Amino acid sequence: MAGEALPYLELGGEPLEDDLICRFRVEPEVGTSLERAANALAAESSIGTWTDVAALTPELRERLRARVLAADDRGVVIAYGAVLFEGGNMAQVFSSVAGNIFGIKEVRRLRLEAVRFPKTVAASFQGPARGIQGIREVLGVTGRPLVGTIVKPKIGLDPKAQAQVVYEAMSAGCDVVKDDENLTSQSFCPFEERLRACLDAAKRAEDATGNAKGYIPNVTAPTEVMLRRTGLVAHLGGRFAMVDLVTAGWSGVQSLRGAGMGLILHGHRAMHAAFTRVPEHGIAMEVIARSARLVGIDQLHVGTAVGKMEGSREAVLRSARALRAWPSEDGTMADGQDWRGVLPAMPIASGGLHPGHVPDLMSLFGPEVILQFGGGIHGHPGGSAAGTKAVRQAVEAVLAGLTLERASSSAPELRTALAFWKAQG
């Protein structure tokens, strides 16, 4: 590196108060030093280009350049001045710090591990409309995890059959029931017809149980269509709307949040693993979770650490903490980020779960979580209602300090579920 001009390196430097900080895991291309790769990352993600250009004056570069504060085996840390970012535009933030850099020749593998948003940037986003407290107020549930399910099969049911599953699960004890990620408005289940039928089913379940219920329709579509769908949800008295946030994109999500309909936005993370799964390359789920909270998602899938979905315990917990962290009185969270006014969001554990997983899930997440079961409810030998009862019995057993085996002696649905899924391996 001797004699090589690396103008974006400021190793050992301190971040400024208004800097957005990114931590990357970097594997340089063969023959490229880590320092040179880090310099190229900072240049490409801020003001640099591959060759000298007349308009890039020394003054302009000094004022707008990203600064590499660290480049070692713990990672590459890059500070970006807040002036580089348009307020309230998450798409532009990601185009900068996770855009062209994944294609530069100086790196073989690259992973965006963490982002620290300064107060000036965080304050430009709306954050969740309702957050954890608002979700609990709408559903009238305190002191325990919320219990939810996804209508199964994922697609194929007509609106009447979809609504019947919604009613069975809600009347047996589910707090929320949602569409799956690939059900939108196909010919066999048109959105408006399904919405009306399922909201009616939710109302009947409320009348039958005396408890509030939430049906979560998937509104994912081109932005103008999403806005019409969420408008209809609000008009018909719905409380929730689901968006596949990765495929719909940050701008689509921000448009939903900005429409001001007061709905609880449920974020499904379909397609996330295309870039979050490989530890050496892509973007960490924690980054997606933190950003989703800023743009207005109230509740978000984060993984389970058990069940069918990949994801380590620590990775799942990092995402959950990014969603739930409460700012202290001075607005500062445990990691030093000032998110004053940004409500905490609710993590969702979902993917291959059944009642036998409940103790591990509650130990991992605590009470501030939505435990969401698909096949683990609808695959119960007694059907959807029995599966729901088994999950609620498992939750109540853990809250009472009982093992599931002991509780199952007086809970037949739970006893059946434990035997059935044990036999499934």
* Backbone region of residue 137 per phi and psi (left: phi > 0; alpha: psi in -120 to 50; beta: other values): alpha
pLDDT in tens, 165-181: 999 999 999 999 999 99
The fold for domain 131-424 equals: TIM Barrel (3.20.20)
SS3 content of the chain, % helix, strand, coil (to 5): 45, 15, 40
Starting at the edge strand that comes first in sequence, how are the strands of the sheet with 240-244 ordered? 214-216, 176-178, 146-150, 370-373, 346-350, 299-301, 264-268, 240-244
What is the helix (H) or strand (E) element at residue 302, kind and residue range?
none
Distance CA 326, CA 332 (A): 8
| Strands (DSSP E) found in 188-293 | 214-216, 240-244, 264-268, 282-283
What is the helix (H) or strand (E) element at residue 178, kind and residue range?
strand 176-178
What token pair was written down for 237?
């008295």
pLDDT in tens, 246-261: 999 999 999 999 998 9
Length of the chain: 425
Interstrand relation of 107-116 and 19-28 (parallel, antiparallel or unpaired): antiparallel
Could you count the other beta carbons within 10 Å of the beta carbon of residue 164? 17
The fold for domain 19-122 equals: Alpha-Beta Plaits (3.30.70)
Could you count the other beta carbons within 10 Å of the beta carbon of residue 371? 26
Coil, helix or strand at residue 210: coil
| Residues with catalytic function | 152, 268
The identity of residue 358, as a single letter, is V
Domain with CATH 3.20.20.110 in the chain: 131-424
Cα distances from 67 to residues 7, 39, 43, 350, in angstroms, run 9, 8, 9, 39
Instruction: List per-residue pLDDT tens for the chain, 425 residues long.
Output: 445 689 999 999 999 999 999 999 999 999 999 999 999 999 999 997 766 776 677 777 778 899 999 999 999 999 999 999 999 999 999 999 999 999 999 999 999 999 999 999 999 999 999 999 999 999 999 999 999 999 999 999 999 999 999 999 999 999 999 999 999 999 999 999 999 999 999 999 999 999 999 999 999 999 999 999 999 999 999 999 999 999 999 999 999 999 989 999 999 999 999 999 999 999 999 999 999 999 999 999 999 888 666 668 899 999 999 999 876 666 666 566 778 789 999 999 998 899 999 999 999 999 999 999 999 999 999 999 999 999 999 999 999 999 999 999 999 999 999 999 998 86
The identity of residue 301, as a single letter, is H
The identity of residue 376, as a single letter, is G
Distance CA 195, CA 163 (A): 9
Bond preceding residue 153 cis, omega within 30 of 0: yes
